[in-house]
Structure 1
Amino acid sequence: MSELDRETGRGLAHELVERLRERILGGEIEPGQKLPPESSLVSEFGVSRTVVREAISRLQAAGLVETFQGRGSFVLDLPEPAREFSLDTSRVRSHRDVLDLLDFRIGIEVEAAGLAAVRRTEHQLKAIGRALDDFRRTRPGKVVEADFTFHLKVAAASGNRFYSELLGSLGPMMIMLPRTRLDQSYSVADQAHFTRVIVEHENIHDAIARSDPEGARAAARVHLSNTRHRLQVPSATTAPTGG
């Protein structure tokens, strides 16, 4: 039996992914070859079928394997070294730029939330829940990072790596919006506004938790549309408005 390290705190699925990734990248399992069946992986690594299935799901999301119903999972051709993809948020300066960025995010994140409701694993749902809890408890200076982490976890749960790569390239600055002449109730320092933003995030999480793709899409659209409506006339500085 190939024992996994159970003391890392990263979980058995993560450790199994790393073992299988090493075999794939090292050429031990070549492109086109089939991964060992679930029963063999369960026996070899001493884990449950649930752990094996989650690990294979993560390998799929990473673009290393493809699974066919009734046939198993096959290793894909190794990708060429990735070219860095990025959208330079430092260029988001005008009011029009901000609105365009939010329109762009609506187009991306609404569908990512819908896919997350269908494809998420229990591990990914817990990660979204932890991000939401962190957002609720966050200190004022950490709001942007906590908000961004929540959106990134939803994108990762979509099972499509391009969503998470795209949001990752935007970074936390996608939450930082040029300060506008907003009503004071739209400041993240205002508890009533912060509570509204938290509820919007909770609605996204809850729809994903109950595997409701249309509900998740609607909740994501409402949240980002509300963020868009909070904006009015631009000025030179930036501030988080809860996105």
Structure 2
Amino acid sequence: MDFKPIKAKKIYEEIIEQIKVMITRGELNPGDKILPERELAEKLQVGRAAVREAYRALEAIGIIEIRPGEGTFVREMGSKPMTDIMSLAVITGKDTLFELLELRKIVEVEAAGLAALRRTEDHLGEMKRWLNLMKEEIDQGSLGDVPDTKFHYAITNAACNSLLTRTMNSISETIKQEMKTILTNMYRTPGTPQQLYEQHKRIFEEIASGNEMKARTAMFYHLDRAEKILKKEMTTFECKLP
């Protein structure tokens, strides 16, 4: 029998868990105002510091929004039904996030293969534009994360499949909204932006050459490496929380 050690949760983690459960059950909805720190601390019979840390963590991962002078609110998740469902799924736990990343592999690897077969010169020009901008930003010390995302959109568009494009939009928007802090940490890891640029360049070259299988392989390698980095950074982010 494989038993795992039981880890005692900190008070702020218990508060986070309760708020997440209330959101998934529909007891708290996007736009709803949450109790102020003092009131929630009294209700839960805990110190205000624990509530403050819980709110800080929830805000960092995009679940709540603290508006100075107004209060604390459950963050609006977006207007598209697909995005709303995925956003709600993400806040239920990190395992769901990695399921989304697995889905991204499925979608984008195939998109890269189709793009190699169907891309036009205009599609290649769009990809090249974002690739060049990514390198330019990285060379200037910036993250290059925005042209990175745009590059992936351009590849999906080059696949010429509207459902692939819609699926990609839903996944990318969710990751951007819910994991903004962690993604920023990922791109700030020394050497990571340069590595990601080289991987993007390889993907572009294979698509431009029309090599369907190599385009798929290059995309899979890139997403697999990015997932490993994200997992590492997520662990670091969790450890940094008080």
Using structure 1 for the length normalisation, give the TM-score.
0.54
- CA deviation map 1:125-156 (0-9, x unaligned): 11011111122223777643222111100000
- Identify the residue that residue 167 of structure 1 maps to in structure 2: 168
Q: Is the 8 A contact 2:143 2:188 kept in 1?
A: no
Q: Does 1:127 align with 2:123?
A: no
Task: Give the Cα–Cα distance (whole angstroms) in 2 for the partners of residues 123 and 153 of structure 1.
Answer: 10
Task: Give the Cα–Cα distance (whole angstroms) in 2 for the partners of residues 203 and 85 of structure 1.
Answer: 35
- Identify the residue that residue 211 of structure 2 maps to in structure 1: 212
Task: Give the Cα–Cα distance (whole angstroms) in 2 for the partners of residues 142 and 127 of structure 1.
Answer: 20
Q: CA deviation at 1:111?
A: 0.2
Q: Is the 8 A contact 2:133 2:144 kept in 1?
A: no
Task: Give the Cα–Cα distance (whole angstroms) in 2 for the partners of residues 142 and 197 of structure 1.
Answer: 11
Task: Give the Cα–Cα distance (whole angstroms) in 1 for the partners of residues 82 and 189 of structure 2.
Answer: 33
Q: Is the 8 A contact 1:85 1:166 kept in 2?
A: no
Structure holding more helix per residue: 2
Structural mapping, 1:63-82, within 5 Å: none
- Identify the residue that residue 157 of structure 2 maps to in structure 1: 156
Q: CA deviation at 1:196?
A: 0.7
Q: Is the 8 A contact 2:134 2:147 kept in 1?
A: yes
Q: CA deviation at 1:207?
A: 0.4
Structural mapping, 1:7-156, within 5 Å: 86-88=82-84, 89-91=86-88, 92-93=90-91, 94-138=93-137, 143-156=144-157
Name whichever of 96-105 and 136-145 sits farther off.
136-145
Task: Give the Cα–Cα distance (whole angstroms) in 2 for the partners of residues 87 and 217 of structure 1.
Answer: 26
Instruction: Quote the RMSD (CA, aligned, Å).
Output: 3.0
Q: How many residues align?
A: 151
Change in Cα spacing, 1:155 to 1:85, as seen in structure 2 (3 Å) is farther
- CA deviation map 1:70-113 (0-9, x unaligned): xxxxxxxxxxxxxx552335332432122111100001000000
Q: Does 1:202 align with 2:198?
A: no
Task: Give the Cα–Cα distance (whole angstroms) in 2 for the partners of residues 172 and 87 of structure 1.
Answer: 7
Structure 1 residue runs of 4 or more that deviate by more than 6 Å after TM superposition: 139-142
Q: Quick one: percent identity of the two aligned structures? A: 25
Structure holding more strand per residue: 1
